[in-house]
């Protein structure tokens, strides 16, 4: 009899231990809950997204409660106790993305790099040909002054060269284009942490500005992925409270990589959302807070009031590390006008050129850097989640002229 009682006790203890194991292994997959004091903070969703399971490698097979085959035991499935958080996507590392995406650039930019090479290879470089070279550069949005400088230097160097082999021409053009773009600018997106005026640790703070439609929200989402891929934790601030779908769009980007999104009421005060986002970043001990701002270019005064206020209010928590201006590469001169207006309103520290895929307007890199005296730091090369690449002048020029 004693043996039977002992066996029952052992069985009950074993049952408890196994069900406890299953529950705790699931618990480990959960993200920490949002702090209860932040009602506007949206944690990643409770339901898994279709397709995410397949994308995230699992180290060991997960045991389901049904697989723990214990006749007579009644165990409540953990799913019934608390919903699972979706598996988080693992974005591609940011290093080498431009090289991976170069085909998109070279396919679309033939008229610039390849066009110049073809013209320079002509046997007789007469005035008409030099004019064609000039037109090619202007059509690609290089801008008047840089075009004249480049043509001048090419004329001199071709004269010195005498006979021109294709390799020599390619090297010459490569050197001159790199000179125009600049290879020694600091193109890092600065996200170093600091301290608040109250002495707390402060995340790196990045404001993303630009006219609606340039790809600002998409870029903020893609940049979150770049940072997560580089091992940083991110909080998103949906301070574009004027475009109805912007906050939802940003939140979806955040959920995919496990970043919280702080949002406010539609049409609410963008500055207060931005302030709360940084506050949340400080509370969470996040590495970076990315703030998507409203891009209504109604009047310069309106823009100035709005963006200026956002920046001033955020600065109550400490310095803003980056102000990235998003420009649509396909808009040419219009993009430059936007750049000028924004630069008068806030201190732009870096440029993001989107939609460089599918356009022959790669020269805008040169023109906008000249205009703002600020480096291009990132380029958008498609609508895919990881199609935002750190800008590398060498890879860019190689893509333009081909190896
Ligand atoms: P916002 O109004 O400035 O926030 O613009 P959105 O982020 O909503 O983007 C506007 C459109 O541009 C969307 O359809 C994006 O998918 C698209 N877009 C953004 N970046 C790129 C890019 O690098 N390449 C291409 N082809 N499309 C892009």
Quickly list DSSP for 263-299: E--TT--HHHHHHHHHHHHHHHT-SEEEEEE----S-
CA distance 254 to 379: 20
Residue 87 has what pLDDT? 77
Residue 301 has what pLDDT? 77
Q: How confident is the model at residue 76 (pLDDT cuts 50, 70, 90)?
A: very low
357 is in an annotated binding site: yes
> How buried is 213 (Cβ within 10 angstroms: 0-12 exposed, 13-18 middle, 19+ buried)?
exposed
188 is in an annotated binding site: no
278 part of a folded domain: yes
Query: Is the CB of 212 inside a 6 Å radius of any atom of ligand 1?
Result: yes
35 part of a folded domain: no
238 is in an annotated binding site: no
Nearest 5°: CA angle at 270, between 269 and 276?
Answer: 95
Domain of residue 208, residue span: 194-348
Residue with CA closest to ligand 1 atom 12? 215
Q: Is the pLDDT of residue 86 over 80?
A: no
Query: Is the CB of 382 inside a 6 Å radius of any atom of ligand 1?
Result: yes
Residue 14 has what pLDDT? 46
Q: Lowest-pLDDT range, 46-50, 95-99, 120-124, 174-178?
A: 46-50
129 part of a folded domain: no
85 part of a folded domain: no
Lookup: tokens for 129: 């040909």
Q: Is the pLDDT of residue 28 over 60?
A: no
Q: Is the pLDDT of residue 73 over 70?
A: no
Residue 150 has what pLDDT? 96
Query: Is the CB of 104 inside a 6 Å radius of any atom of ligand 1?
Result: no
Q: Lowest-pLDDT range, 6-10, 94-98, 283-287, 335-339?
A: 6-10
Query: 280 near 184, Cβ under 8 Å?
Result: no
User: In Å, what is the CA distance from 166 to each residue of 102, 114, 119, 120, 396?
Assistant: 21, 12, 11, 9, 20
Cα–Cα nearest to 42, from 227, 254, 268: 254
Query: Is the CB of 296 inside a 6 Å radius of any atom of ligand 1?
Result: no
Query: Is the CB of 355 inside a 6 Å radius of any atom of ligand 1?
Result: yes
Query: Is the CB of 383 inside a 6 Å radius of any atom of ligand 1?
Result: yes
Residue 285, domain CATH = 3.40.50.300
**Average pLDDT for the chain:** 81
Angle between helix axes 144-161 and 127-139 (nearest 10 degrees) is: 140
Cα–Cα nearest to 292, from 345, 223, 225: 223
Residue 29 has what pLDDT? 31
Q: Is the pLDDT of residue 46 over 60?
A: no
Please indicate whether residue 127 or residue 83 has the higher confidence score (pLDDT).
127
Pair type for strands 322-328 and 234-239: unpaired
Q: Which atom of ligand 1 is found nearest the CA of 381?
A: 23
Query: 327 near 214, Cβ under 8 Å?
Result: yes
130 part of a folded domain: no
65 part of a folded domain: no
CA distance 302 to 282: 30
Altogether, the residues listed in the chain come to a count of 403
pTM of the model: 0.79
CA distance 195 to 198: 8
Could you give the number of structural domains in the chain?
A: 1
66 part of a folded domain: no
Q: How confident is the model at residue 107 (pLDDT cuts 50, 70, 90)?
A: low
304 part of a folded domain: yes
Query: Which residues neighbour 403 within 8 Å (Cβ) at sequence distance 6 or greater?
Result: none
Can you tell me the mean pLDDT for 309-323?
95
Rounded distance from Cα 380 to ligand 1 centre (Å): 9
């Amino acid at each position: 009899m004693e043996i039977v009682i002992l066996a029952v006790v052992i069985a009950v203890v074993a049952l408890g231990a196994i069900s406890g194991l299953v529950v705790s292994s699931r618990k480990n997959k959960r993200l920490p809950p949002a702090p209860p004091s932040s009602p506007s903070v949206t944690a990643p969703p409770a339901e898994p997204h279709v397709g995410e399971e397949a994308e995230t490698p699992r180290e060991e097979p997960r045991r389901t409660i049904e697989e723990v085959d214990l006749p007579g035991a009644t165990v409540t499935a953990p799913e019934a106790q608390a919903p699972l958080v979706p598996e988080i996507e693992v974005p591609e590392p940011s290093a080498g993305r431009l090289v991976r995406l170069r085909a998109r650039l070279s396919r679309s930019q033939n008229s610039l790099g390849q066009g110049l090479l073809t013209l320079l290879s002509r046997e007789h470089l007469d005035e008409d040909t030099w004019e064609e070279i000039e037109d090619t550069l202007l059509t690609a949005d290089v801008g008047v002054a840089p075009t004249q400088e480049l043509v001048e230097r090419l004329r001199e160097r071709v004269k010195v060269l005498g006979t021109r082999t294709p390799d020599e021409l390619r090297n010459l053009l490569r050197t001159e284009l790199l000179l125009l773009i600049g290879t020694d600018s600091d193109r890092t997106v600065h996200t170093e942490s600091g301290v608040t005026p109250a002495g707390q640790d402060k995340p790196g703070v990045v404001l993303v500005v630009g006219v609606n439609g340039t790809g600002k929200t998409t870029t903020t989402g893609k940049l979150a992925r770049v940072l997560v891929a580089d091992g940083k934790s991110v909080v998103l601030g949906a301070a574009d409270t004027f475009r109805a779908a912007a906050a939802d769009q940003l939140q979806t980007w955040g959920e995919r990589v496990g970043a919280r999104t702080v949002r406010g009421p539609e049409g609410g005060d963008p500055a207060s959302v931005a302030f709360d986002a940084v506050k949340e970043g400080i509370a969470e001990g996040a590495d970076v807070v990315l703030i998507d701002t409203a891009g209504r270019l109604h009047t310069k005064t309106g823009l100035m009031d709005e963006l200026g206020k956002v920046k001033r209010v955020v600065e109550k928590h400490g310095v803003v590390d980056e102000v990235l201006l998003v420009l649509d590469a396909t808009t040419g001169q219009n993009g430059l006008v936007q750049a000028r207006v924004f630069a008068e309103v806030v201190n732009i520290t870096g440029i993001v050129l989107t939609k460089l895929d599918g356009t022959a307007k790669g020269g805008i890199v040169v023109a906008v850097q000249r205009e703002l005296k600020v480096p291009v730091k990132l380029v958008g090369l498609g609508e895919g989640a990881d199609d935002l690449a750190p800008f590398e002048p060498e890879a860019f020029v190689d893509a333009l002229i081909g190896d």
